[in-house]
Amino acid sequence: MLLEKYVILWYYNFIEEVTEMDEKNLAGETYTRPWGNYKVEENNENFQMKILTVNPGGILSLQKHLLREEHWVCICGSGEAQVGDETVYICKGSYIFIPKQAMHRLHNTASEPLMIAEIQLGDAFEENDIIRFDDIYGR
């Protein structure tokens, strides 16, 4: 519950900053993926935070992580988040918790980019802690 409050407070502070920034400031160093891109905002021994930008129609692989849980807050846009067998509609302000080892994916079903603040907590934050089950991009 404390983490959820922290994420929500961070989200509202971030939104205020984003509205004052140029799009170039958000781009920074990005890591391109078939579904869009992500930028690592913070990475330390306690947590990692990314901003995911999912292109219209983009869909992340159905995946799980053995070493970390994830917390998603929708910054802007809309789409669907699948966690386990449940799929929910998300839009600006939505919060989604993904426990360790839970299968999950994100899908931008809208015509505008979907931006997600992703906070990872766990034992490790490497990109190789991804077990993919279904990936439309063949990875």
Backbone angles phi, psi at 71, to 5 degrees: -125, 125
Residue 3's pLDDT is what? 63
Cα distance between residue 123 and residue 121, in whole Å: 7
Domain 2-134 has CATH 3.40.50.970: no
> Do 131 and 103 form a contact (C-beta atoms < 8 A)?
no
Cα distance between residue 113 and residue 131, in whole Å: 25
- pLDDT 10s digit of each residue in the chain, 139 long? 556 655 555 555 555 554 443 332 233 567 899 999 999 898 888 888 999 999 999 999 999 999 999 999 999 999 999 999 999 999 999 999 999 999 999 999 999 999 999 999 999 888 888 899 998 988 8
Structure tokens at 135: 């990936």
- The reported pTM is 0.78
DSSP summary character for residue 112: S
Residue 4's pLDDT is what? 64
- Sorted by where each begins, the domain ranges of the chain are 2-134
